[in-house]
Amino acid sequence: MFEPVDETASELPPLAVVVVNWNGRSELEDCLRSLRDATYPRLRVLMVDNGSRDDSVEWTRENHPEVEILETGENLRWAGGNNVALRRLQAEDFEGPILLLNNDTVVPQGSLERLVGAMMQEPDAWAATPRICYHHDPALAWYDGGRIGHWSGWVRHDGIRRISGKLPSGTRWVEYGTGCALLIRPRVLRSVGLLDESYYFYGEDADYSLRIRAAGGRILHVPRALVLHKVSATVGAHTPGKVRLRSQSHIRLLRQHWPASRWPLLAVSQFAYLGGHAAFHLWQGRLETALSVLLGAIDELRPDRH
């Protein structure tokens, strides 16, 4: 636990915010407005459009001329889209922190200052995360730090669905930073590199967190900085496709980061993890979704995938 941060104690560095978008015109309005109204000095916003077929690009040009638009022409997904902006910032030798931010979020005023200020005061912090609450119910937390089980392999959010006012407010070190709102220093790009685009969907942020920690960095959680998230606004909460991709990426994460010596215990914990998720969807009457939990894991374990 650290002392409360005084974000006005020193001059804040320039900040770049990267927002990846794919047919998210309806979400961009709230997100970009909150960034436009932010009080952070020297703020730069880059929107990476992944080949949207709606009017996202045209609308942004007309309503937010301050936003830099990078058009990919195709859906490079979350990791690929972010990497486009990260490469641009690297090429320009941008030396400020970079915030990877979902397009289905809203950033209240003052949050960027608190987040960046806290990270800049902790030299060991290579990355930082805000507290993230549900947009439809800001009193409930969605992410208040994250954990990755050393032996179990379980990746989870702390504080999820708990009343945010009853959660600890002090900054602390965490094991996992969600890609919904992940602040990184430029040294992360130099030491760790770009996001792994081989993750088709999900798992990229957990992989990045593990790579940051393996390189000697730490991840700071700053509850006094707040982001509101319209959870699953783009993909849907319990669609079979989403669940299958999540299971597939989860097994890929384990294969990449857990040594063979841990797999006997890991197999037991993952059987419980995946079985519990499948049972939950069955109990809710979602048979196809329940099957997708298992099929995603089987997809990743197929010998021809490696």
Task: Report d(CA 183, CA 219) in Å as an integer.
Answer: 9
H-type helices in 164-226, by residue range?
A: 186-191, 204-214
pLDDT over 80 at 5, yes or no: no
Q: Which is nearest to 16 in space by CA: 101, 141, 118, 111?
A: 101
| Integer Cα distance of 293 and 286 in angstroms | 11
Exposed e or buried b per residue across 250-265, where buried means at least 16 C-beta atoms within 10 angstroms of its C-beta: bbbbbeeebeeebeee
Please write the tens of the pLDDT for every residue from 20-72: 999 999 999 999 999 999 999 999 999 999 999 999 999 999 999 999 999 99
Q: Taking a C-beta distance cutoff of 8 angstroms, is the pair 253, 209 a contact?
A: no
> Of all residues in the chain, what percent carry a pLDDT higher than 70?
93
Question: Which residue intervals of the chain are DSSP H helices?
Answer: 25-36, 56-63, 77-91, 111-120, 186-191, 204-214, 240-257, 263-283, 287-301
For 144-170, the pLDDT digits (tens) are 999 998 877 788 899 999 999 999 999
Please state which CATH class domain 15-229 belongs to.
alpha beta
Better-scored residue on pLDDT, 237 or 250: 250
* Residue 232 pLDDT class (50, 70, 90 cuts): low
Q: Where are the domains of the chain?
A: 15-229, 240-305
Interatomic CA distance for residues 85 and 20, integer angstroms: 9
Q: Residue 153: its pLDDT value, please?
A: 79
Residue pair 44/20 in contact (Cβ under 8 Å)? The answer is no
- Could you give the C-alpha distances from 70 to 18, 77, 82, 83, 281, in angstroms and in order? 10, 14, 10, 11, 39
Q: How many CB atoms lie within 10 A of CB 39?
A: 10
Is residue 101 within 8 Å of residue 17, measured between CB atoms?
A: yes
What is the C-alpha separation between 246 and 252, in angstroms, rounded? 10
State the pLDDT at residue 6: 53
Portion of the chain with pLDDT greater than 90, in percent: 67
Using CA atoms, how far apart are residues 190 and 183, in angstroms rounded to an integer?
15
Phi, psi of 29, deg, nearest 5: -55, -50
Q: 176-200: per-residue pLDDT in tens? A: 999 999 999 999 999 999 999 988 7
Residues 49 and 57: beta-carbon distance below 8 Å:
yes
Instruction: List the structure tokens of 47.
Output: 């929107």
Whether pTM exceeds 0.85 = yes
- Nearest of 127, 163, 125 to residue 144 by alpha carbon: 163
With 0-12 / 13-18 / 19 or more C-beta atoms within 10 angstroms meaning exposed / middle / buried, residue 91 is exposed
Task: For 208-227, write each residue's pLDDT tens digit.
Answer: 999 999 999 999 999 999 99
206: pLDDT strictly greater than 50: yes
DSSP label of 185: -
Query: Bridge partners of 129?
Result: 221
Mean pLDDT of 106-117: 98
